[in-house]
Amino acid sequence: MAGTEVSTDWRVGSPITWRGEMNGTAYEDKGEILAADEPTRLSMTHYSPLMGGADEPENYHTVTYDLSAHGDRTTVELSQDGNDSAEQAEQFGANWQGMLDALKKTVESG
């Protein structure tokens, strides 16, 4: 996630944390690594207290990154479950698109 400090060992079952700041407020999101199949898939759970829900299983969602090679290009597909509404899915989609755009810029700049 753009602008965060990530801490994990990337092993299945291990915790992952993201520390950052949003609109002047420090936060720490957390989750667990579900799959780490280098170089094609990374999947994890994710919980953010900024969403306002309690730290309970129903307030976690799963984020999965799938990478596929196409000649000299790589496609990154990101999916997330656990949206409460179409509006929330749209909001997350916009946030993820920003992160993917930043990733693309970083990769293409070498």
> CATH assignment of 5-108?
3.30.530.20
pLDDT value for 2: 67
Give the per-residue pLDDT at 52.
86
Q: What is the pTM of this model?
A: 0.86
pLDDT score, position 25: 85
Average confidence (pLDDT) per 10 residues, the chain, 110 residues? 88 97 89 96 94 91 95 92 86 87 87
Task: For the chain, give every domain's residue range.
Answer: 5-108
69 phi and psi, to 5 degrees?
-85, 140
pLDDT at position 30, please?
Answer: 97
